[in-house]
Amino acid sequence: MEIIYGTWHWAISGLLIGLIMLLLIYFGKSFGMSSNLRTMCSMAGANKHCSFFDLDWKEQKWSLAIVVGAILGGFVAYHFLQNGTEVAINPTTIKNLAAMNIDAPNGKLVPDALFSIETMMTFKGFSILLLGGLLIGFGSRYAGGCTSGHAISGMSNLQLPSLIAVIGFFIGGLIMAHLILPLLF
């Protein structure tokens, strides 16, 4: 049971993610999560004054169904498929984090230093979460896709634009992890 309740091996996880993408192709769709953000903006009324959001969101219902499924999947995995040994990251990483006063995982998926409700209520904590979201939403739409649309779908189809986007993802991520995070924490 360890194989289900513990951390899933990268090879099995990667294989399943690849198969999910292929299954969506077989269903006549393409794998991409960030386009749901655009759909949600349209549903909230952004289509009334901005042509970019002028789309028929009912045609995106299949994708919103994936979102609902993903939320349920997260709930089930977290509540029924855990054994407390999760997120066994590199001890060196834990030391780096401790130097920034970021708590170690100890089975948690995300640090309290960023995601606890108390942190969210502080000006700094609130700003970080909102800014992170802004960058993700703005950047993924600007680049025309996120990790699922470019890194997985696009690279699988050997698309040069997706390779450029993924290089951009890593430039941004490396700058953040190595240069900006140490200034923030």
Partner 1 sequence: MKLFRFLIVGFIFGIVLTKAEAVSWYRIYEMFMFQSFHMYGIIMVAIATGVIGIQIIKRKKMNDFKGNPIMIVDKDRGFARYMIGGIFFGLGWGLVGCCPGPIFILLGTGIYAIGLVLIGALLGTYIYGMLKDILPH
Rounded distance between C-alpha atoms, residue 27 and residue 93, angstroms:
40
Least distance from C-beta 185 to partner 1, angstroms?
Answer: 11
Q: Which is nearer to partner 1, 56 or 62 (CB)?
A: 62
d(CA 125, CA 102) in angstroms, rounded, equals 12
DSSP 21: H
In whole angstroms, how close is the CB of 136 to partner 1 at the nearest point?
A: 4
* Cβ 56 to partner 1 shortest distance, Å: 16
Q: Is 181 exposed, middle or buried (0-12, 13-18, 19+ CB in 10 A)?
A: middle
Which spans in 100-122 are helix H?
A: 112-115, 117-120
Chain-centroid distance, C-alpha 53: 22
**Of 57 and 150, CB closest to partner 1:** 150
Of 56 and 142, which CB lies nearer to partner 1 in the complex structure? 142
Shortest spacing between CB 74 and partner 1, in angstroms: 3
Burial 93-116 (b: 16+ CB within 10 A, else e): ebeebeeeeeeeeeeeeebeebee
User: Which one, 56 or 78, has the nearer CB to partner 1?
Assistant: 78
**Distance, CA of 30 to CA of 24 (rounded, Å):** 6
Provide the sign of the torsion angle of the four alpha carbons 171, 174, 175, 181, taken in this order. positive
Nearer to partner 1, 56 or 132 (CB): 132
Q: Nearest approach, Cβ of 168 to partner 1 (angstroms)?
A: 2
